[in-house]
């Protein structure tokens, strides 16, 4: 097989491919036009962040089987186009976890002890021994925002050095956090209130962008912020101001909203902020690890074996695919709705199949349901890595089947829960390609799952639906469809509205000001985020 490498990677990865008898060609700094010519006849393409892998590239590479990203981020790869062309996209998320964790620890000590500042003063010829009074991390509290792989490794290291760890992560189980040496708290504010040093380890999503701003930083009086995750999660201007005015004792930042960072960025001009140019993964060991991991996944594709870090949908047996295909997206959507309706941390996910669908091989459908549940959790969670994410987060996943389905030929139910609390969403497919949500928490509805949805729990009294319609109309929100269900006459009812526009917090507050309305939820099926109040 022919492997083309267009960005430099460690020789260990190239050697592994050559040892298996494959032709490896390196061609760096190609123009896009030259790359379109070079990929003809190529079976595997290895890139880092420097190569743009676009739809026209896939069209120019009819023999391409896999694009291997030697690292984590895949912003430069058109994954939808890859899937359309039947090309696997795989990254190497594990290879630089240790490097990122160690850099985070180093940055925490650097800011707490003013190491770069003291170094600069001494180089300038000033013995400033009396000007730097550092903070010992021992016996202080570490706040970990995001408890994924890197967050867990940072916690292990700093807990071993005498810090007490608390973490906020809505998608990690309490048992898993405790097992790894951290106390799980229910919200970000509690984590910030208790922390002396906060370290960020979440992906950059619609949900996390700007998550830590001026109000959040005020909760960290005399504390420190370390961000080696992604730029844009922490408001850079607010962080610079908080350190400069003394609200915070210091900060350490390795990532920026725009990179390469502009010389005018406010973080660069504050003495007590340590900055590095996105060095988290920049170690020889990390680069070798990601190169070898990428090569191993290419070899797996060539031999027809599973690809552990594939980022797009896996192949399915041709004979069984037509029966399950309509339920893949439906399960994803049901999971996405369920997790947005659930108010709290998810510790378990159950996927239940009833009717004809129960006779099929539904592993991919279950994985797709998990993808929907985890969509707000982590960038690029998909049907391939969803089960792995659940395992890492300590989330219990169960799957069950029943040959009988009341009222429907096939029914898929996704339930998310924690303790005794749970939310269930049931979906089915009518004739053709007509997906419907038919039950929400036992309420019978008939909702079309797309775009923006408003779910209202209310008392079953006259005028409620009219009131909701009036409020939405007054705010210019058009109702595309409405579906109502109730348990008993005069009891509690549930209404689902398909909307052309999102519902803002003030509109939700106005709806809930009516004593007949118990609560409301805005559901977005565009990016997995909700405007929940």
Per-position b or e across 14-27, b if 16+ CB within 10 A of its CB: bebbeeeebebeee
What gap in Å lies between CA 255 and CA 239, rounded to an integer? Answer: 13
What gap in Å lies between CA 457 and CA 408, rounded to an integer? Answer: 25
Q: Is 183 a catalytic residue?
A: no
Angle, helices 386-393 vs 363-374, to 10°: value is: 60
Contacts of 247 (CB under 8 A, 6+ apart): 217, 218, 220, 221, 241
**Exactly one of 113, 194, 278, 444 is catalytic; which is it?**
278
174 φ/ψ angles, rounded to the nearest 5 degrees: -60, -40
54 burial (CB, 10 Å; 0-12 / 13-18 / 19+) is middle
On whether the CB atoms of residues 5 and 30 are closer than 8 A, the answer is no
Contacts of 466 (CB under 8 A, 6+ apart): none
Q: Is 259 a catalytic residue?
A: yes
Q: What angle do CA 101, 237, 121 make, to 5 degrees?
A: 65
On whether the CB atoms of residues 65 and 44 are closer than 8 A, the answer is yes
**Exactly one of 103, 230, 380, 522 is catalytic; which is it?**
230
- 140: DSSP letter: S
Q: Which residues pair with 494 in a beta bridge?
A: 457, 485
Tell me which residue of 455, 423, 428, 461 sits closest to 442, measured CA to CA.
Answer: 423
Angle, helices 115-123 vs 97-112, to 10°: value is: 60
**Exactly one of 259, 305, 461, 492 is catalytic; which is it?**
259
Contacts of 449 (CB under 8 A, 6+ apart): 330, 333, 334, 337, 427, 435, 436, 437, 525
Q: Is 230 a catalytic residue?
A: yes
- 430: DSSP letter: E
- 212: DSSP letter: B
Helix/strand/coil percent split, the chain, to 5: 35, 25, 40
Write out the catalytic residue numbers: 230, 259, 278
């Amino acid at each position: 097989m022919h492997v083309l490498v267009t960005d430099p990677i460690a020789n260990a990865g190239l050697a592994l491919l050559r040892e298996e008898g494959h032709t490896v060609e390196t061609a760096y700094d190609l123009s896009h036009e030259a790359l379109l010519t070079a990929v003809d006849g190529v079976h595997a393409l290895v890139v880092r962040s420097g190569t743009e892998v676009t739809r026209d590239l896939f069209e120019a590479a009819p023999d391409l089987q896999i694009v291997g990203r030697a690292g984590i981020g895949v912003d430069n790869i058109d994954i939808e186009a890859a899937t359309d062309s039947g090309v696997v996209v795989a990254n190497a998320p594990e290879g630089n976890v240790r490097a990122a964790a160690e850099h985070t620890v180093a940055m925490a000590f650097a800011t707490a002890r003013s190491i770069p500042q003291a170094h600069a003063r001494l180089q300038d010829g000033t013995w400033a021994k009396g000007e730097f009074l550092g903070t010992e991390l021992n016996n202080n509290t570490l706040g970990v925002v995001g408890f994924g792989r890197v967050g867990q490794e940072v916690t292990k290291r700093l807990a071993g050095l005498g810090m007490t760890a608390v973490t906020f992560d809505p998608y990690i189980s309490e048992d898993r956090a405790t097992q790894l040496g951290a106390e799980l708290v229910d919200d970000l504010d509690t984590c910030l209130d208790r922390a002396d040093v906060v370290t960020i380890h979440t992906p950059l999503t619609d949900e996390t962008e700007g998550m830590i701003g001026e109000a959040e930083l005020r909760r960290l009086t005399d504390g420190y912020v370390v961000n080696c995750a992604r730029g844009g999660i922490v408001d850079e201007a607010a962080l610079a101001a908080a350190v400069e005015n003394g609200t915070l004792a210091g900060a350490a930042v390795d990532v920026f909203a725009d990179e390469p960072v502009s010389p005018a960025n406010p973080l660069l001009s504050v003495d007590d902020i340590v900055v590095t140019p996105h060095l988290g993964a920049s170690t020889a060991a990390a680069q070798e690890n990601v190169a070898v991991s990428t090569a191993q996944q290419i070899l797996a594709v060539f031999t027809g074996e599973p690809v552990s870090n594939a980022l797009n949908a896996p192949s399915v047996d041709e004979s069984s695919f037509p029966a399950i295909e309509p339920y893949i997206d439906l399960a994803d959507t049901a999971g996405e709705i369920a997790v947005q309706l659930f108010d709290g941390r998810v510790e378990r996910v159950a996927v239940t199949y009833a009717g004809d669908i129960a006779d099929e091989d539904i592993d991919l459908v279950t994985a797709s349901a998990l993808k929907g549940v985890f969509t707000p959790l982590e960038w690029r969670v998909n049907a391939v890595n969803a089960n792995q994410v659940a395992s890492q987060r300590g989330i219990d996943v169960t799957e069950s089947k029943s040959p009988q389905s009341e009222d429907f030929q096939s029914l898929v139910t996704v339930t998310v829960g924690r303790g005794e609390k749970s939310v269930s969403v049931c979906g089915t497919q009518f004739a053709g390609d007509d997906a419907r949500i038919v039950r929400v928490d036992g309420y019978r509805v008939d909702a079309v799952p797309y775009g923006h949805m408003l779910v209202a729990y209310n008392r079953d009294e006259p005028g409620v639906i009219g009131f909701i319609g009036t409020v939405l109309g007054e705010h210019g929100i058009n109702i595309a469809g409405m579906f109502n269900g109730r348990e008993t006459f005069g009891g509690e009812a549930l209404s689902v509205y398909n909307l052309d526009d999102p519902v803002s917090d003030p509109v939700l507050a106005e709806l809930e000001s009516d004593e007949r309305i118990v609560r409301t939820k805005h559901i977005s099926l565009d990016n997995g985020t909700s405007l929940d109040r």
